[in-house]
Structure 1
Amino acid sequence: MIKRIGEHPDLELIGLHCYTPEKVGRDAGEIAGLDPIGVTATGTIEDIINARPDVLTFHGVFPDEALYEKVLEAGINIVTTADWITGHHRNQNHPHPSGRKVSEVLQDACLRGGSTFYGTGMNPGLNQILAIVHSADVSEIENVTVIESVDVSCHHSVDTWKEVGYGVSVDDPSIPGSLEKYTRVFADSVYLMADCFDLELDEVTFSYELGACTKDVDLGWYQLPKGSLGANYIKYQGLVDGIPRIESHLEWQMTPFTSPSWDIKGCYITQISGDPNIYSKHMIFPKPGVKLDNPEDFASIGMTVTGLPALNAIRSVVEARPGILTSADLPLRGFAGRFKV
């Protein structure tokens, strides 16, 4: 995102906050593997506030809600790709130390500072926006299902996969709880779509299938012993009178050598049952000339499509009312990319 901010006509990078002490004091471009850009990394919230940015764009694996609160009450907007779509998930699964709901804490910080907070990403995030758009020409909707069908071995976030349970024996009773806890933000995506469809859900349920590795797998950056979790199929289903109406599915594969295994399609799928029926694939390819010689190149594409929905929304977030926003609150232009100038 340091590279993408530098290329974005709406944006100027004026600071970089890092949690790793070894990065503090170094040039942001150097840290990102680019030429120096004249922005020095810092390591305190005070440095963020003193820089007086319009927006802090936060792309950590997990939220830093203590940082969020201080930044928001200082009048600085936040756009993030870290585990936030509506706030349902954080409220239920990650209690705030104060005992209050996290969404209440952040909303109050926004109101004190006159700032705005928005969470998005590729999935959850853009994938649900695509589902809403695809429904525009459908009458009498019966079911909306979005599916992420991807090989996740290019997403080199060791902390993420440890928390989810990849590499742990599929017989370990902790796996279902870990899978649910650390994917529960996808329940938020169901609530977001329900909000846009003006549909009140009775509940959002979680179900899963586990794929066990049929042999030892060494990915170089991650090891998966035989019998450990190497793939999964998760469903978050929004029910009305016991009938699934809005669903978010995660068809993930770290390796094809699992039992059971799934037909990974490498795309995002929207299925709408109604009149008429809709089936759409959102497929992502590198631009011509970009080499994919190593796993890091694939990972870069994934990071790009996750982060850009946040960067492209910044102008609309700055112009929005104070408080917590969801994608249901943004104008269509809030989802638009930018032409190369």
Structure 2
Amino acid sequence: MSQQRVVVWATGGIGAIAIRAIQHRPDLELVGVWVHSEDKVGTDAGVLAGGDPIGVAATNDADALIALRPDCVIYAASGPERDAGHIPDYVKLLSAGLNVVTTSTTRLVNPHNYEPAEWRDQLAAAAKQGQVTLYASGIEPGFAADYLPLVLSTQSSQIETIHCYEMGLYDDYGVPDIMSDALGFGRPLEYEPWISFPGAIAGEWQGQLRLVAEALGVEIEEVRETFDRAITERTLDVAMGRVEAGTCGALRMQAIGVVDGREAIIIEHVTRLAHDVAPDWPRGIGDLSYRVNITGVPDIDCTLAATLRDPAGAGIGGMTSGAGAMVATAMRVLNAVPYVMAAEPGLVSSVELPLTIPKGAFAAS
């Protein structure tokens, strides 16, 4: 089996999982790792990923990594700048002739509807210059509410509605500026978080809605939003800190695609800090699961739960509810590397790639 030479960009949760997974894959070779923190430079990547040394030292020198001429960069950086920080990195890597798979820019799961258009055009031009490909994925966005419903629809004779859910605990997500400021957890209901602003929910999920609609040959005329919150009746101590009783302990939000005047494609997230908050809202299996409900001929109802027996063994520390989903997120792009390399240059979505079957996964066992 031929090997693809890869670089992992950043060693946070997703990057650490990718580093550890590559060591057990006969089709991939890790040749470099990028880090943001100066104090991590020179540290062995295996150690940064929570394991044993593997003989690859981390660097913050992007040009040095480009000079290695890897086949693909597995990009997993995070940070407060989000796309504003990621887009210049993508442009640099693509222009240099390196394929990029990323979990960092979730709205690029449908690159053809990515906004702002100026950034999309920069990415397309860079991919054309380098004659390489950019692909974004994850478990949600990237699979559970976009690709999975399309796979399930191959059983359909007629489709009336598609309703996709993420239902889970975020009690172990310890990023206060996102959890408190952007989402409003732990705040009184009078507080208006960023996600409640008109257009915020649609902006995050309309690309997925349009991906599903376009693949099925229909047009979304409008994207509607719903947003609701529920308080916790008791004080909760979670990863983001203490959440007092009487403040927000759960969110429920929907992005709704209108087709032919009716609400036809829905992506819904129900997010709690404890199982007993908002007991009347939809709930899934365990701490985190995904559900796709297609009404039509036939009716189809599928629930997906990604669980992990040994989070520490996969390089995940201090996380319980989302550990399996983190591995699934990383593998969505890692397993796509050979398929992205074989794709036509440009920006691609999951529906433009073949099924990204991991041909080295059984060997990894």
Q: TM-score, normalised by structure 2?
A: 0.83
Go from structure 1 to structure 2 and tell me whether the alpha carbon gap of 1:225 and 1:50 turns closer, same or farther (over 3 Å shift).
farther
Q: Secondary structure at the match of 1:200?
A: coil
Contact 1:165 1:178 in 2 (8 A): no
**2:283 is matched with which residue?**
264
Matches within 5 A, 1:291-330: 295-330=318-353
Query: In the aligned structure 1, how far is the partner of 2:317 from the partner of 2:91?
Result: 39
Q: Aligned pair 1:161/2:179, yes or no?
A: yes
**1:76 is matched with which residue?**
98
How far off its partner does 1:300 sit? 3.2
How far off its partner does 1:187 sit? 2.2
- Structure 1 regions of 5+ residues with no counterpart? none
- Letter of the structure 2 residue corresponding to residue 49 of structure 1: I
How far off its partner does 1:89 sit? 7.2
Q: Aligned pair 1:199/2:203, yes or no?
A: no
Post-superposition Cα deviations, 1:30-70, rounded to whole Å, max 9, x if no partner, equal 11110011111111321231221111111123341111110
**2:11 is matched with which residue?**
none
Q: Cα RMSD (Å) of the superposition?
A: 2.7
**1:85 is matched with which residue?**
109
Go from structure 1 to structure 2 and tell me whether the alpha carbon gap of 1:119 and 1:294 turns closer, same or farther (over 3 Å shift).
closer
How far off its partner does 1:288 sit? 8.2
Q: Report % sequence identity.
A: 28
Return 217-226 or 1-10, whichever deviates more.
217-226
Q: Secondary structure at the match of 1:154?
A: coil
- Structure 2 regions of 5+ residues with no counterpart? 1-17
- Letter of the structure 2 residue corresponding to residue 194 of structure 1: A
Post-superposition Cα deviations, 1:281-305, rounded to whole Å, max 9, x if no partner, equal 1122334898999842544323101
Contact 1:211 1:261 in 2 (8 A): no
Q: Aligned pair 1:275/2:297, yes or no?
A: yes
Q: Aligned pair 1:226/2:245, yes or no?
A: yes
- Letter of the structure 1 residue corresponding to residue 354 of structure 2: P
How far off its partner does 1:253 sit? 1.0
Query: In the aligned structure 2, how far is the partner of 1:248 from the partner of 1:166?
Result: 21
How far off its partner does 1:221 sit? 4.5
Go from structure 1 to structure 2 and tell me whether the alpha carbon gap of 1:204 and 1:263 turns closer, same or farther (over 3 Å shift).
closer
Query: In the aligned structure 2, how far is the partner of 1:123 from the partner of 1:242?
Result: 27
Q: Secondary structure at the match of 1:26?
A: coil
Q: Aligned pair 1:137/2:149, yes or no?
A: no
Task: Choose between structure 1 and 2: higher helix proportion.
Answer: 1
Go from structure 1 to structure 2 and tell me whether the alpha carbon gap of 1:69 and 1:153 turns closer, same or farther (over 3 Å shift).
same
**1:150 is matched with which residue?**
168
Query: In the aligned structure 2, how far is the partner of 1:340 from the partner of 1:188?
Result: 35
Aligned residues: 334
**2:4 is matched with which residue?**
none
How far off its partner does 1:147 sit? 0.8
Go from structure 1 to structure 2 and tell me whether the alpha carbon gap of 1:271 and 1:114 turns closer, same or farther (over 3 Å shift).
same
**1:118 is matched with which residue?**
135
How far off its partner does 1:311 sit? 0.7
How far off its partner does 1:108 sit? 0.7
